[in-house]
C-alpha cells in the first residue's frame, strides 16, 4: 500500500500542475501601484501652511486587478485598490478604500458590484486637464453640493452596468446603490462619445439626502484635441429644494511638448440659497507642468490662486482665509507608477 501511494503521488502532482497551468493560461492577475509625494504650500489671510504631502498628481495606491476568460465571450473581472498617504505611511480605516469590485463582462457589456467610481465623478475627473488631484484641480467639484455626500467620488454597495467598447465610440454607465449607510443611496447615469479629436459626456445624479431632500445633479464635460493641444470644458449644477444650490464652470487646457505637458485652467463656482440669493462665489486660476523622466516616473508642479466674494472663504493647501479674501498655493512633487 505504501509503495502504491508513493508512486501515485508524482502522477497526482503532474495532473495538478497540468490543470493549474491550464487555468493560469486563461487568467491574469496584475499588481500595480502609484507613489506620489510632494511639498505643498498654501497662503491665506488667516493661516499659512507648509507641509510634505501626498497625491499632488495622482493618489498613492496599491492595487490588484485580474481577469479570467470563461469562454463564449464571457470574462470575470476584479479590482481592489488600497489608498495610502505616502508622506507618512498611513491609510484610512477602510483598507480597500479606493475600489473594491467584481464584474462579469460579455459582448453585451459588463455588470460590476462593489465600491465603484460614480458616473458623476467620472465626468469631473475626465474633463479637467489637471485630472482629479492637486492644488489647481477640481474647483467645480470641490465647491459643489455633491462634495459633501458620501458618494461624492465612489459609491459603496453599488450595482453598475457599462456598455461594451464596440458601439462606435458611444458609452453608457448606469449605477444604483442600496440605502445602507448615511445619508442614503446614489443613482446616476453617464452617456458619452469619444471619437477622434472629440469627446463629450453628460451625467445625471441623484443623492438620497434625507436632511435636505434629494440632491439632483447635472454634469457635462467635453474635450477637443488639435495636435498637441487639448481643450476641456466642464459644467456642474446641483440643486435641492430644501437647501442651497451650486453651479460651476471651468475651462482648461494641456499642451504636450516632448516629455513635458503644460496645463492651465480657469474656473468659477457659485453657491445660492434656496431663494436664489448669491451666498458665495469662488474663482480659481491654475497653471502647472508635468515632466516625464521615464514611462513610470514624473516630476510635477502646480500653482493656483483663488479669489472669493459674496461670502466665500475657499483656501488652498491647508491654509485659511477670511471671508471674501483670497488664497494661493503650490505643489511640487514626484510620482512613480509601477
Across residues 43-48, what is the average pLDDT? 98
pLDDT digits (tens, 9 = 90+) for 266-304: 999 999 988 888 999 999 999 999 999 999 999 999 999
| Per-residue burial over 47-71, b = 16 or more CB atoms within 10 Å of its CB, e = otherwise | eebeeebbbbbbbbbbbebebbeee
Distances in whole angstroms, Cα of residue 183 to Cα of each of 119, 148, 149, 214, 333: 18, 10, 7, 10, 36
Q: Can you tell me the distance from the alpha carbon of 338 to that of 205, in angstroms, rounded to the nearest whole number?
A: 34
At residue 9, the pLDDT reads 42
Question: Does residue 147 sit in helix, strand or coil?
Answer: helix
Distances in whole angstroms, Cα of residue 264 to Cα of each of 133, 252, 283: 14, 6, 14
Across residues 3-7, what is the average pLDDT? 40
Classify burial at 83, counting beta carbons within 10 Å of its beta carbon; exposed 0-12, middle 13-18, buried 19 or more.
Answer: buried
pLDDT digits (tens, 9 = 90+) for 48-82: 999 999 999 999 999 999 999 999 999 999 999 99
At residue 11, the pLDDT reads 43
Q: Can you tell me the distance from the alpha carbon of 18 to that of 15, in angstroms, rounded to the nearest whole number?
A: 5
Across residues 38-45, what is the average pLDDT? 98
Whether residue 260 is predicted with pLDDT greater than 70 in this model: the reply is: yes
Q: Can you tell me the distance from the alpha carbon of 338 to that of 137, in angstroms, rounded to the nearest whole number?
A: 24
pLDDT digits (tens, 9 = 90+) for 90-107: 998 889 999 999 999 999
Q: In the chain, pLDDT over 70 holds for what percent of residues? A: 90
Confidence label for 210 from pLDDT (cuts 50, 70 and 90): low
- Residue 58 is placed in which grid cell? 495622482
Quick check: 98 and 59 in contact, CB under 8 A?
yes
pLDDT digits (tens, 9 = 90+) for 157-195: 999 999 999 999 999 999 999 876 555 689 999 999 999
Three-state SS string over 80-115 comes to: EEEECECCCCECCCCCCCCEEEEEEEECCEEEEEEE
> Cell numbers 500653482 correspond to what residue?
303
Q: Which domains does the chain have, with CATH numbers?
A: 40-57+118-152+174-337 (2.40.160.10)
Q: How would DSSP label each residue in 230-246?
A: EEEEEEEEEE-TTS-EE
Sequence-separated contacts (24+) of 188-194 with Cβ below 8 Å: 188/118, 188/119, 188/120, 189/119, 190/119, 190/120, 190/122, 190/123, 193/169, 194/169
What count of other Cβ atoms lies within 10 Å of the Cβ of residue 252? Answer: 23
Amino acid at each position: 500500500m505504501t509503495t502504491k501511494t508513493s508512486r501515485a503521488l508524482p502522477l497526482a502532482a503532474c495532473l495538478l500542475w497540468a490543470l493549474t497551468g491550464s487555468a493560469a493560461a486563461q487568467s491574469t492577475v496584475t499588481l500595480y501601484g502609484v507613489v506620489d509625494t510632494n511639498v505643498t504650500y498654501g497662503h491665506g489671510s488667516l493661516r499659512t501652511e507648509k507641509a510634505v504631502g501626498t497625491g499632488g498628481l495622482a493618489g498613492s495606491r496599491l492595487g490588484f486587478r485580474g481577469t479570467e476568460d470563461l469562454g463564449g465571450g464571457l470574462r470575470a473581472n476584479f479590482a481592489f485598490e488600497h489608498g495610502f498617504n505616502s508622506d507618512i505611511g498611513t491609510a484610512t480605516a477602510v483598507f480597500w478604500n479606493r475600489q473594491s469590485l467584481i464584474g462579469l463582462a460579455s459582448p453585451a457589456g459588463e455588470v460590476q458590484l462593489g465600491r465603484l467610481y460614480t458616473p458623476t465623478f467620472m465626468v469631473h475627473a475626465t474633463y479637467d486637464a489637471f485630472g482629479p488631484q492637486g492644488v489647481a484641480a477640481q474647483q467645480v467639484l470641490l465647491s459643489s453640493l455633491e462634495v459633501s455626500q458620501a458618494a461624492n467620488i465612489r459609491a459603496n454597495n453599488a450595482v453598475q452596468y457599462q456598455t461594451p467598447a464596440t458601439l462606435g465610440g458611444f458609452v453608457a454607465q448606469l449605477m444604483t446603490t442600496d440605502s445602507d449607510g448615511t445619508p442614503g443611496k446614489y443613482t446616476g447615469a453617464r452617456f458619452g462619445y469619444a471619437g477622434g479629436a472629440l469627446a463629450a459626456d453628460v451625467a445625471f445624479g441623484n443623492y438620497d439626502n434625507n436632511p435636505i431632500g434629494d440632491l439632483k445633479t447635472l454634469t457635462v464635460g467635453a474635450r477637443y484635441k488639435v495636435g498637441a493641444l487639448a481643450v476641456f470644458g466642464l459644467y456642474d449644477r446641483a440643486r435641492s429644494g430644501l437647501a442651497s444650490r451650486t453651479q460651476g464652470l471651468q475651462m482648461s487646457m494641456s499642451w504636450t511638448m516632448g516629455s513635458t505637458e503644460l496645463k492651465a485652467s480657469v474656473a468659477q463656482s457659485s453657491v445660492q440659497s434656496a431663494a436664489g440669493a448669491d451666498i458665495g462665489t469662488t474663482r480659481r486660476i491654475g497653471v502647472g507642468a508635468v515632466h516625464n523622466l521615464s514611462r513610470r516616473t514624473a516630476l510635477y508642479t502646480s500653482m493656483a490662486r483663488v479669489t472669493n466674494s459674496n461670502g466665500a472663504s475657499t483656501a488652498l493647501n491647508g491654509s485659511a482665509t477670511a471671508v471674501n479674501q483670497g488664497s494661493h498655493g503650490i505643489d511640487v512633487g514626484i510620482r512613480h507608477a509601477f
